[in-house]
Amino acid sequence: MSVQLQNRPEAFRQFALRRAEELKQMVTPYLKQSNTIPTGFLRSELYEFRRAKILSYFDATLEDWENWHWQMTHRISDSHVLDSLLSLTAEQSMEIERVGKTFRWAVSPYYLSLMDGTDPFDPIRLQGLPTQAELFDNFGEEDPMGEEITSPAPSITRRYPDRLIINVTNMCAMYCRHCQRRRNIGETDTHSPRNQLKAALDYIRANPEIRDVLVTGGDALLLSDLTLDWLLGELHAIPHVEIKRLGTRAPVTLPMRITDELCTILAKYPPLYINTQFNHPKEVTTDAKKAADKLVAAGVVLGNQAVLLKGINHQPQIMKKLNQELLKIRVRPYYIFHAKNVKGTRHFIPRIQDGIAIMEQLRGHTSGLAVPTYIINAPKGGGKTPVSPQYLISLDENKAILRTWEGKYIQYETP
């Protein structure tokens, strides 16, 4: 064997070592930033301290805290109560009262315990508490998704050939300040009447092309166990409905809703998918993990649909950290939704360039499992439109010019 051939393995190893060092240098800046990004797991003691303060205020116990019905009946929706728990300035208290006259707000004790009491720009606080920016929006629409013109039957929204939504409630554990359906919140918590749900089921039965049904609201998991069992059972019995999905933020805002009794019900109706909405790493807590573990054990497939929100998660390092934290609790990043042009939410809407920059820093820079699809919803029911950086530069019958995740241009033959 020639000396040249004998030296090839060592040459390959040296090349690989140089490449490994190059890759290490690429990720080093993020690793330094990552250590400064607060996560729910690292803030457990602080969350427990705030929980104790809230329980003391309500003269409640840890057993009460773990009861989702207690959480719902003790949602904070009064600025005076909030001030006692969060220490607002007089100006902040007046601001919340003023906005609350136009846009309803409420936050679960659990989600309140995640909020920073001193930082008005805390990403958890911005999602849950009103700010005066909601009143200074002449740009947004009440129904930018055109849901009212895409409802062929009671409680149904249909935008696609083989799937549809059933809207079952306007209730949420917390009324997110960026909510796309804030027009439905009103001042009273209501579930869709049983006769409307039956009409929706009749529509699905009469349209055999419908193979995928999303039950949402509001928050689908705020239906009672009895109603969920009935509704999922009815859907499960329709032969052409292949999968059921539930839309909920309960693992984020009310993880104690994921009870053993609920999971026993969900386990009866596979395949069942739950898409939730974590928007910041601080929301990925030990309680959220416990809820996710229960759902996974029940056979539920978990996905996350983050909303890209200015001031909350529009920086690449925040979104990367969020997605990596989610994978730790077995929630697969599924979509990043560009914030919709909903009335009162203009201050949350980032630039599309921000979303593309995030995708540039995800693809190739982290596990493909942590790379969701970036989506802009076309107005008036036009549906989800994927947006991504430009990787295909040109294409003809014989070759493609591609840009790799590192920004290198290559020619790819297509004989």
pLDDT score for 9:
84
The 272-276 sheet, strands edge to edge: 156-157, 163-167, 212-216, 243-247, 272-276, 301-308, 332-338, 373-378, 383-386
Using a 10 angstrom Cβ sphere, with 0-12 exposed, 13-18 middle and 19 or more buried, the burial of residue 260 is exposed
Q: Is the pLDDT of residue 404 over 90?
A: yes
Mean predicted confidence (pLDDT) in 393-413: 94
Instruction: Judge if 21 and 60 occupy the same domain.
Output: no
Instruction: Judge if 330 and 380 occupy the same domain.
Output: yes
Residue 139 lies in a domain: no
Q: What DSSP string describes 50-61?
A: HHHHHHHHHT--
Instruction: Judge if 84 and 215 occupy the same domain.
Output: no
Instruction: Judge if 196 and 245 occupy the same domain.
Output: yes
pLDDT digits (tens, 9 = 90+) for 138-179: 777 777 776 778 899 999 999 999 999 999 999 999 999 999
pLDDT score for 205:
98
Instruction: Judge if 263 and 374 occupy the same domain.
Output: yes
- 242: helix, strand or coil: coil
Number of domain units in the chain: 3
- What would the two tokens of residue 385 be? 């439109």
Instruction: Judge if 160 and 69 occupy the same domain.
Output: no
Instruction: Judge if 320 and 247 occupy the same domain.
Output: yes
Mean predicted confidence (pLDDT) in 196-203: 98
pLDDT score for 6:
60
Residue 140 lies in a domain: no
- 385: helix, strand or coil: strand
- Domain holding 26, by residue range, is 3-34
pLDDT score for 2:
54
pLDDT score for 185:
79
- Please give the DSSP secondary-structure letter assigned to residue 342: B
Instruction: Judge if 334 and 265 occupy the same domain.
Output: yes
Instruction: Judge if 91 and 198 occupy the same domain.
Output: no
Instruction: Judge if 122 and 231 occupy the same domain.
Output: no
- What would the two tokens of residue 164 be? 């549809």
Residue 30 lies in a domain: yes
**How many C-beta atoms surround the C-beta of residue 257 within 10 A?**
23
Residue 403 lies in a domain: no
**CATH code of residue 320:** 3.20.20.70
Q: The whole model's pTM is what?
A: 0.94
